[in-house]
Structure 1
Amino acid sequence: MAPTPGGGAAAPPPYPVIRPMLAVLGPLPPDHEQAAWAFEAKWDGARCIVNTPGDGTLRLVTRAGNDATATYPELSPLGEQLRGRPAVLDGEVVVLDPAGRPDFGLLQRRMGVLNPRRTARLAMELPVQLVLFDVMYLGGPLLDAPYHERRAVLEGLGLDGPNWSVPGYLAGHGRRAWDAALHGGLEGVMAKRLSSPYLPGVRSDDWVKTKYLQTLDIVIGGWTEGRGALGGLPGSVLAGVAEPAGLRFVGAVGSGLSDHERQELARYFGVIPLDRSPFVNAVELTGVHWAEPRLVAEIAFSGWTSAGRIRHPVWHRLRPDLTRLG
């Protein structure tokens, strides 16, 4: 323990350190099993564990274990609502766009900022919302309590403020939850077994995240070299979308490419090199090799950032039927 200014040891906080429970990626549970599951919206944000000793203060910890308390000063009044109740809560920090949908690109402008003057200004310009969805400690441990009991405890706390909320869940109706999430512009659905305990730091199949993915045909305007064993081969390709003003760069895609596809792309790039960017907007990447915009590919992605970039892109396949190499 660290010594206090008076020479003694610092007292441990009156709550345990709890790492967030993690979900597996998968489809919605089958219809005949859905009565045993709760369905929540999947928020496009950053995981945050809320710790309070019950004295009106709180400490925010990211999934990586970093202290984010100073980064989101607008959440500090939540500590006052929990006064007298040592607690550890689980939630997600999001920033909403003008249409009220979570925008990870906007949230990135808030993440990691520690300068007090800057965080205060950003809290006014881009206020965060804390979506609370679990409680693991409330004057005593709740880890072994089933999900539905923990949610009842959380809802009973009456936590409601300008920058935090406790959205409800839908039990037994995954398709309705899915349709509502997509209608609201959300990323997908979290399915949680009603009987599941909270397993700190464990990626458990008691929690399943189902993401909505869109597909898009992109024009490839260049590539960046892979590292290590991929040296000399494309590590990622630069994706463009054809618009009236020209080809607009929308992001880099590397996930999902097989070794065979990287070698195939390398052969194509060898015969269509270009000495300048084919994009009408800036490409803020280093080590770029430009290519004539002839190759078309299909990708999957989860949405668009406020800057017009694709979120979580995954390579699907080349589109030879749309490619112009002749």
Structure 2
Amino acid sequence: MTLPLIPPMLATPGKLPPVAQDARWAYETKQDGQRVVAYLEGDGTVLLRARSGEDITAAYPELRPLGAALGRTAAVLDGEVLALDERGRADFQLLQSRMGLAHAPGKAARQATKVPVHLVLFDVMHLAGQDLTGLPYTRRRGLLEELGLGGPHWSTPTALVGHGEEALRATVEHGLEGLVCKRLDSVYEAGVRSRAWIKIRNMRSEDVLVGGWLPGKGRLEGLPGAVLVGQRAAGRLRYVGGVGTGWSEAERVRLAELLRAAETDVCPFDPVPHVAGAHWVVPRLVGEVRYSTRTRAGMLRQPSWLRLRPDLAPEESAADLPDDLP
């Protein structure tokens, strides 16, 4: 490869820029996929590297024609590989069936016919022999859009300048993962988690019932390292995941006391989850958790603990799972 190896620039978690600075920022939809840097030599070839630097080209054979689409222009492009659901929204669970197949090209090709991917392009770091990382975001973005890269498996969505509050509200209303805010004058800081890019993840919150816990390790020995939570559906308590973050030390100690008082030998979940080392409790503690989204099986993704809900009786906790889950 004659193109320079450029690790992707990373965003810092945060919140919307102040209203007075809104016009100095661009806003892009945060996508729930796999970050990739695409290297196009200008000879029709494509090399895809994951954030780790691993060559994952073979995992996504439908993206190979991107090299021909760009023609003789050599470029290094930044983007995200997505698997879209029937509503056209990124579904990370779908994408997982495509990830990890870089060393199994035959299986990757078969999966491509079942779960095709789409590459969203949002930056260009090297173009026609020129290093663009020192240029401001607005200039790089303009050069990227001039390439006209739109195809059956790739696109260059428009970025919105200003109107951050409206952009964030739209991602919430459409059930999207979140927003990335990029300062218009920002250079491309390769491999750096920069404050010039801010990511905002839309999180949901719901009530759950605690049905078990896992012992903590190290400094958490003797305390719960995670609680196992569920929600009622079709007349039974369905396991929806383990929650291991969100407590202060005092809250964790108090929770340990409550869990020990509710211990039982009987698993309250139906069906019984395969969780090694689980301690079961009578499901009478109601808690509120924050999470990003659900898997197709109803499991919570990236859950964190918000608070106990002593104001709610167990029978009052929300039953948010569809009745037709397996």
Q: Same fold (TM over 0.5)?
A: yes
- Establish whether residue 55 from structure 1 lines up as the match of residue 55 from structure 2: no
Is structure 2 residue 235 aligned with structure 1 residue 227?
no
Q: Distance in 1 between matches of 2:306 and 2:147?
A: 46
Matched letter for residue 239 of structure 2: F
Task: Indicate whether 1:258 and 2:248 are aligned.
Answer: yes
Quote the offset at 1:282 in angstroms.
Answer: 4.4
| Residue in 2 that maps onto 1:31 | 19
Any runs of at least 4 consecutive aligned residues in structure 1 with deviations exceeding 6 A, and if so which?
none
State the TM-score, normalizing by the size of structure 1. 0.92
- Residue by residue, what CA displacement relative to the aligned partner does 1:272-326 show, whole Å, maximum 9, x if unpaired? 12223211134232221111111111111112122211121111111122256xx
Letter in 2 for 1:313: P
1:88 matched to 2:83? The reply is no
Q: Residue 99 of structure 1 corresponds to which residue in structure 2?
A: 87
Conservation of the 8 A alpha-carbon contact between 1:160 and 1:166? yes
1:128–1:315 distance in 2 versus 1, CA, 3 Å: same
SS for the counterpart of 1:85 is coil
Q: Deviations over 1:123-173 (max 9, x none)?
A: 111111111100000121000111011111111111111111100011011
Aligned equivalent of 1:117: 106
| Equivalenced residues, count | 312
Question: Which range is displaced more, 257-266 or 22-31?
Answer: 257-266
Correspondences of 1:233-244 after superposition (within 5 Å)? 233-244=223-234
1:278 equivalenced with 2:265 (yes/no): no
Matches of 2:272 and 2:84 in 1, distance apart? 26
Query: Which residue among 115, 122, 138 is the counterpart of 1:133?
Result: 122
CA-CA distance at 1:83 after TM superposition: 2.9
Q: Give the AA of the match of 1:135.
A: V
Partner Cα distance (1:180, 1:121) in 2: 35
Q: Is the 8 A contact 1:106 1:306 kept in 2?
A: no
* 1:218-251 superposed Cα distances (whole Å, 9 cap, x missing partner): 1011111222221232111111112233111111
Structure-2 residue corresponding to 1:198: 188
Percentage identity across aligned positions? 50
- Runs of at least 5 residues in structure 2 that lack an aligned partner in the other structure: 315-326
Pairwise CA distance, 1:91: 0.6
TM-score of the superposed pair, with normalisation by structure 2? 0.92
2:319 matched residue in structure 1: none
Partner of 1:7: none
1-side partners of 2:96 and 2:308: how far apart?
31
Matched ranges for 1:278-317 at <5 A: 278-317=268-307
1:65 aligns with 2:53: yes
Cα distance in 2 for residues equivalent to 1:104 and 1:214: 17
After superposition, the CA RMSD in angstroms is 1.4
In structure 1, the residue corresponding to 2:171 is in which secondary structure?
helix
